[in-house]
Amino acid sequence: MKTSRFSAFLTLLFITAANHSAWACAACYGDTSGSKMSQAAAIGIGAMVVIMFVMLGSIFAVGRHLVWRAKNPLPDYSELLSEDTDKDEPDSKS
Contact 61, 49 (CB under 8 A): no
Q: pLDDT tens for residues 7-29?
A: 988 888 887 777 665 566 655 66
What pLDDT does 70 receive? Answer: 92
pLDDT tens string, the chain, 94 residues long: the values are 678 888 988 888 887 777 665 566 655 666 667 778 778 878 888 999 999 999 999 999 999 999 999 998 887 877 777 776 666 555 555 4
What pLDDT does 67 receive? Answer: 95
Q: Is residue 15 helix, strand or coil?
A: helix
Phi (first) and psi of residue 19, to 5 degrees: -65, 135
What pLDDT does 56 receive? Answer: 97
